[in-house]
Amino acid sequence: MEYRNLGSAGVKVSEIALGNWITHGGQVGDDAARSCVEAAFDEGINFFDTADVYERGRAESVLGETLKGVRRSSYVLATKVFWSTGDTVNDSGLSRKHIIESCHASLDRLQTDYVDLYQAHRFDSEVRLEETLRAFEDLVRQGKVLYIGVSEWTAGQISEALTIADEMGFDRIVSSQPQYSMLWRVPEAEVIPLCRREGIGQIVWSPLAMGVLTGKYKPGESRPEGSRGTHGSGIRAAYLSDETLTAVQNLKPIADELGISMATLALAWVLNNENVAAAITGATKPEQVRENVKASGVKLDADTIQRIDEILGDLPQRDPNLTGG
Ligand SMILES: NC(=O)c1ccc[n+]([C@@H]2O[C@H](COP(=O)([O-])OP(=O)(O)OC[C@H]3O[C@@H](n4cnc5c(N)ncnc54)[C@H](OP(=O)(O)O)[C@@H]3O)[C@@H](O)[C@H]2O)c1
């Protein structure tokens, strides 16, 4: 496993991270969740991503239980705040009240005194950014949070936050968590160029397009039993169109020539962007974790990148206005 700095911050994260959206406390049982986390540690993954909202807190609880007894300094733990975690008016968003309360609830569920990275899951246009950033700053000063990040913020929103942080003497955002894959290139136009200049690293979600880029969904065929495609929500409808699935199958010869799996090819593709600090993968089985880590250290040459672009043509989404979706 190779490790990269989280933007310009000193902390190092594994190029392949393990996230637990949909899986822990949801699609998979606690034993499978534990096996995936154990496989992750075996393979050198040190970076875990979750959120207060995943399975209404259950995902954090399962991860916290699984990490119990593991030396705290041996891993980097990230969680998030924004989406609704309860039924009342203050149970969502980026107000000082919700940030502080949700952080305390996350620490409880994760059974830890601090999270390494605390992220604003979305931008909150109803709260002054100064209020949000001061609440995050207070958590940093209290030692409950080590670094601050954002998810699905536009370049303009990140830029505004940096200006305020500099004016107020707050710690700066170190990471941005956008969706990014061969099929979703939205951050390339604005977010990545700004972040590269400002020393902010991308930790990208759904790098396998929710499993589609592994090639296991075939056009005109029923979805593999037990996969996310049969689990209900979780995969963008456009990713499962025959047109997309056919194009994805056409990537297989490239993976075969390189002697790697399609999952490895897809993950190596996102890691090819130097502003990406980590690809946050999901997994329902430990074998998937063991397969996905093989992407660390794989370099794709310009010819391979170009062939991928030609095969996918106009299918990838690129419009920066889709940020936050
Ligand atoms: N910030 C945000 O708004 C946001 C949003 C979404 C996700 N995230 C983060 O990103 C993480 C990853 O998202 P994701 O789960 O959609 O990522 P993904 O890596 O694109 O998809 C993961 C899913 O693909 C399948 N899979 C993984 N490896 C495979 C392999 N080698 N072969 C075959 N199938 C494989 C598994 O599902 P099946 O076995 O069920 O097919 C797995 O759960 C989340 O856990 C979360 O931490 C953040």
pLDDT in tens, 117-167: 999 999 999 999 999 999 999 999 999 999 999 999 999 999 999 999 999
Instruction: State the pLDDT at residue 307.
Output: 98
| Nearest CA owner, ligand 1 atom 48 | 205
Q: Which amino acid is residue 292, in one-letter code?
A: N
Instruction: State the pLDDT at residue 222.
Output: 86
pLDDT band at 320 (very low <50, low <70, confident <90, very high): very high
What sections of the chain are H helices per DSSP?
30-42, 58-67, 96-110, 129-141, 155-168, 191-198, 242-249, 252-258, 262-271, 286-292, 302-312
What are φ and ψ of residue 169, in 5° steps?
Answer: 75, 25
In percent, the amount of the chain with pLDDT more than 90 equals 94
What are φ and ψ of residue 150, in 5° steps?
Answer: -130, 165
Catalytic site residue 54? yes
Per-residue model confidence as pLDDT tens digits over 176-229: 999 999 999 999 999 999 999 999 999 999 999 999 999 999 999 888 888 998
Instruction: State the pLDDT at residue 234.
Output: 75
Q: Which of the listed residues 36, 79, 276, 284 should we mutate to test ligand 1's pocket, taking the one with most ligand atoms within 8 A of CB?
A: 284
* Distance, CA of 204 to CA of 271 (rounded, Å): 9
pTM beyond 0.95, yes or no: yes
Could you tell me if the CB of 290 is within 6 A of ligand 1? Answer: no
* Distance, CA of 286 to CA of 41 (rounded, Å): 11
